[in-house]
Amino acid sequence: MSSLSRSSFVWGSVAGAWMPTLSAVAGTGSAVELTQIARLYSMRLESVGDKLVLRNRYNRIEFEVNGRRAWVNGVMFWLHEPCRRSGGAWGIRREDFERGIDPVLRSYSHAPRRVPRVVVIDPGHGGKDSGAVGPRGAMEKQVVLDISYRMKRALEGHNFKVVLTRSGDSYPSLDDRVELAERVRADLFLSIHADGAASAKAHGVETFVTTVKGFDSSNHYGEGGDRSGVRNNTFDAANAMLGFAVQSNLVKLSGRSDRGVRRARFRVIKQAPCPAALVECGFLTNAEEARLLRSESYRARVAQGVVNGVRAYYTLVSRARR
């Protein structure tokens, strides 16, 4: 994976530069050509192996030819539909540009007005529902509760108000978790999970945000053609910013492989009344990651990664308001 060694933990922001309006670039079709994106960002477009690469001195976007994977400054970012050639030009779906790539690259023109203060952290599962179980009996519900408490302490240290959807081994329903977020007027909702898969080889960390209306999700087990629009779609652009901020910092701090910012219609995020992400902190069904998830030091690093993501998002929103 390409690496762009920047010390700053806030990606993107080509602040201050003159930019043509988005509508002038996006045109009226359903696709946006890569050459148009290159012009908007003052980037060079070149073909490198099976990728099309856009870059300037600040940012680098890579598109997998005929694939759904893209990389923004080295962090994987799944598109709703593949980068395709049509009418002789390579392009991506307009929604992937307007509610995916552009909010990440030009957050100042997409950021919500409200600076996040109240963060709801949702430790997945609980009580009767253990979630994924590792080879030596480590349970997802316990691992994610520990990570959530670590996040809570760290975020409170940065003056966020933090509310957990469960404080012990109980099972609030998915609707209860969403209702709590409404009740406390959450500005951000973060659901914390550890993954399980049929294959013991599956590994890495990933961050889900709500799928844009009209498209298939990109979680690894598919969703049977559900393309509906949902409540959380109001926050598509902010979700992309949040997902990218969390995933880039999570990959950095966890040191695990990057499975990308993905799209899903998981109940807790699709109904969330604010920008929301569901974070998978590694696979309990993978021997090495199960060992890591059992260790305090890994759980501390993962918690810090997600917290750094929240802080990066906070910085982007605060800057955009100036």
* Binding region for Zn ion (CB under 5 A): 124, 131, 193
CB of 238 to Zn ion, least distance (A): 23
Q: Which position has the token pair 């395709």?
A: 84
Question: Least distance from C-beta 208 to Zn ion, angstroms?
Answer: 11
CB of 196 to Zn ion, least distance (A): 7
Nearer to Zn ion by Cβ, of 18 and 221: the residue is 221
Residue nearest to Zn ion (CB): 193
Q: State which residue, 36 or 285, has the beta carbon closest to Zn ion.
A: 285
Distance CA 306, CA 298 (A): 12
The residue among 200, 196, 224, 188 whose CA lies nearest residue 312 is 188
Decide whether 64 or 146 has the Cβ nearer to Zn ion.
Answer: 146
Q: What is the DSSP string of 209-245?
A: EEPPTTS---STT--TT-----GGGGGHHHHHHHHHH
Q: Cβ closer to Zn ion: 116 or 131?
A: 131
- Minimal distance in Å, beta carbon 59 to Zn ion? 33
As a whole number of angstroms, the distance between CA 241 and CA 316 comes to: 9
Of 133 and 230, the one with the shorter C-beta distance to Zn ion is: 133
DSSP 66-130: TSSEEEETTEEEE-SS-BEEETTEEEEEHHHIIIIIHHHHTGGGT--SSPP-EEEEEE--BTTB-
Residue (193 or 311) nearer to Zn ion, CB: 193
Q: How far is the CB of 192 from Zn ion (least distance, A)?
A: 9
Centroid of chain to Cα 174: 20
| Shortest reach from residue 66's CB to Zn ion, in Å | 32
